[in-house]
């Protein structure tokens, strides 16, 4: 993990409006108009963003928060030729009896599909 927690992350337009406008000495900012922001976002629909985190807590919040995917920074990264070889999926089990709504059981079922990341807190 890099010291500055810089990562490439896919974010929706609403998510990208957060606290990114705060000034940070480690991450220089460029002031742009709302029109320029809109024009830039058009090119990043379902695309990639470079995000610089100020601390490890924020980095982990984004890394494990979902529903986006985060990857380590890569030199000479070309989003047009990037290969996505994995994806997070949400699995819904219809008509599951209530006694099976336990984190350990749901993760065990998930491990039969692939590597489970987490059990949805709304489910539990």
Region 17-46: mean pLDDT is 63
Residues 6 or more apart whose Cβ sits within 8 Å of residue 12: 68
- Check whether the bond before 67 is cis (ω within 30° of 0): yes
Q: Considering the chain, what percentage of its residues have pLDDT values greater than 70?
A: 65
Please, which pLDDT band fits residue 19 given cuts at 50, 70 and 90?
very low
Q: How confident is the model at residue 5 (pLDDT cuts 50, 70, 90)?
A: very low
Out of 21-30, 33-42, 115-124, which region has the weakest mean confidence (pLDDT)? 21-30
Is the pTM here over 0.85, yes or no?
no
CA distance linking residue 116 with residue 108, whole number of Å: 8
pLDDT value of residue 28: 60
Q: Which residue has the tokens 């976002």?
A: 41
């Amino acid at each position: 993990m890099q010291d500055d927690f810089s990562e490439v992350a896919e974010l929706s337009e609403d998510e990208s409006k957060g606290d990114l406008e705060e000034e940070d000495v480690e991450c220089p900012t460029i002031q742009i108009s709302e029109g320029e922001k809109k024009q830039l976002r058009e090119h990043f629909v379902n695309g990639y963003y470079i995000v610089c985190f100020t601390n490890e807590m924020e980095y982990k919040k984004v890394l494990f928060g979902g529903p986006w995917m985060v990857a380590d920074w890569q030199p000479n990264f070309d989003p047009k030729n990037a290969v996505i070889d994995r994806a997070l999926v949400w699995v819904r089990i219809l008509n599951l009896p209530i006694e099976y709504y336990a984190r350990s059981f749901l993760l065990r079922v998930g491990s039969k599909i692939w590597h489970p990341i987490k059990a949805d807190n709304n489910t539990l």
